[in-house]
Structure 1
């Protein structure tokens, strides 16, 4: 395998040339992160796959979790021991970043995958089917810079697949939706345009929705373990435990990710307005520019709900998600201010210490 088969092209070569110049480039080679195992990474370099770890200087320069290398990243490597080991000295600028907030109350970004062209948002056509959850996944997708595509898996288990496709189309206008069945082999041809040579796709969705099955189906071989879902609630267990990248027979690159029990959104880069484009368009017709679409007179959004043009549950989810993102943004600002204050205080203590030292010497 070569790095070209993993997506290396003229654009990445140009970014490499901008980053690595002159004598600085001696001894460095490009590589792509194909597996994230915590403190170590599997990396595809010019002479094949190898284990890599962060250089000490790079590790100490990273200030937040979102800056660490992730699956899909192109990195600057120094190969050692004949290519058996690699040290990561830098990350090339990303053209897309799929991220979420880490689970719990910690305010940190978790990179799901980077440099992805198409993000497959996977939902099974069983009891796990949930349009409100898909609205959140669409926000993450639009924020990432990748092209969102909805995959409705296990169509062989759904007698009313057309009805559910129509439901999804109402909450995802303009987004491609494909109903597929790996068991019956239905729908693979529709996905070929996304998995052509050099194209990177990633799969994300809840546990048990069929992501690992999709990887095996598209690759034509069993490269990921799968497990049956519970029959009583259609919930699955985490089969995939880490993020990993594979090359497909059609020349594309696919990233499998662990299932998400919950999706906590990270910063909003316009994804909310794109995912709820119908509400955004209606809001432009409201009488007041600061309309909250709750009880204001002349609210075009509420009028659309009253007339049946807009589903009330969709508006409620929009409000809930908007409040969540606003709250998170306020917490992030406070944390940045706290960090800046702590840094300023530490610098002040250092200056005072130096001043007292100078007085003692005097």
Structure 2
């Protein structure tokens, strides 16, 4: 059962099916299942059938993470715990994930170019719904459509279902319908809802996505009202909140870690720190789904390898000239396509480097005195 603690912690005997456990998940012999609620350095706060506690990583988990950071346990993971002789638990394995929200290790260098190592960072696992939160009121513009497109692309790629939430709807006095239409055009086929957590507007619509034992993660910039929405869904204060700075309209980092929070009546939500910059990672279909309108136009170009940048018979450029396709959206598509291709090249180069390093180690071992040769 859930405890009455406002921290969202558990006490007593816990029915893991309330957390999404099902018997199709297989465990290594002699271990017990648990779900990761929070991650600390070298350990994780986990929820098992007999309570919520901290479990340190086994040597096997640390070795796997050294080879691939994506293998690190993260919030939402189902894990196998091994009970040690002294009575405490050790996190011995991460069970296969049904979905994973991963952002690329992309940053900007001093010249504004892309830099990074091609590796990713996993933000949440085994998520059914990805709520993309975008505040309806900014100091300079009403919504960052490019950020919405980027986060929705990553949400599709994760295996979860994206839903866009336009928060702080009470601050938008006129034209909310036009704003929602702009957001819908930036995320074709994705549900878009206006929400005001303070008044309760739209909160029930959001809660309806979490029926049963579904898990959601909420993503967006600092000041988007993520923690306020989590509190509204929980019906109590489970996350601290702060006001947006009046000077520049930017939010403060209230949430400093990712945390799995149970909700009354079922469902779980993962609150996350504000995201300033999100790089793409291992994209295959996410960008295509977000820009399905451009993909449909491109299918009508005269040439199959059209780059949509001046070729004759380009249906994409024709739509741009007629006003059917906004220039901002085409530029965003070009940008994400370039970034996805860049990340793919970086990932391929990293894999080749790791393969070369592995064979160098093997050859070095084979050259040691006393080793037999094939």
TM-score (norm 1): 0.92
Which residue of structure 1 lines up, in the alignment, with residue 118 of structure 2?
107
Q: Using the alignment, how far apart are the partners of 1:121 and 1:86 within structure 2?
A: 35
Is the Cα contact below 8 Å between 1:3 and 1:44 reproduced in 2? no
Unpaired runs of 5+ in structure 1? none
Is the Cα contact below 8 Å between 2:131 and 2:216 reproduced in 1? yes
Which residue among 181, 194, 216 is the counterpart of 1:201? 216
Is the Cα contact below 8 Å between 1:95 and 1:115 reproduced in 2? yes
Matched, 1:77 2:87: no
Q: Using the alignment, how far apart are the partners of 2:15 and 2:319 within structure 1?
A: 52
Matched, 1:345 2:368: no
Unpaired runs of 5+ in structure 2? 2-13, 108-115
Q: Using the alignment, how far apart are the partners of 2:206 and 2:372 within structure 1?
A: 70
Which residue of structure 2 lines up, in the alignment, with residue 233 of structure 1?
248
Which residue of structure 1 lines up, in the alignment, with residue 43 of structure 2?
40
Pair 338,176 (structure 1): closer, same or farther in 2 beyond 3 Å: same
- Post-superposition shift, 1:103? 5.1
- Post-superposition shift, 1:169? 1.1
Matched, 1:133 2:137: no
Q: Using the alignment, how far apart are the partners of 1:358 and 1:5 within structure 2?
A: 53
SS across alignment from 2:55: strand
Which residue of structure 1 lines up, in the alignment, with residue 131 of structure 2?
120
Matched, 1:276 2:276: no
Which residue of structure 1 lines up, in the alignment, with residue 4 of structure 2?
none
Pair 36,354 (structure 1): closer, same or farther in 2 beyond 3 Å: same
Which residue among 84, 88, 91 is the counterpart of 1:88? 91
Pair 137,358 (structure 1): closer, same or farther in 2 beyond 3 Å: closer
Give CA-to-partner distance per residue, 1:71-113, whole Å, 9 cap, x none. Answer: 1011101235886x42111111111111101353233211110
Matches within 5 A, 1:1-362: 1=1, 2-4=14-16, 6-9=18-21, 12-16=22-26, 19-20=27-28, 25-26=29-30, 28-62=31-65, 63-80=67-84, 85-102=88-105, 104=107, 105-127=116-138, 129-159=143-173, 160-354=175-369
- Post-superposition shift, 1:287? 1.0
In the TM superposition, structure 1's runs of 4+ consecutive aligned residues that sit over 2 Å from their partners are 3-9, 79-83, 102-107
Q: Using the alignment, how far apart are the partners of 2:320 and 2:329 within structure 1?
A: 10
Which of the pair is proportionally richer in helix?
A: 1
Count of residue pairs the alignment pairs up = 348
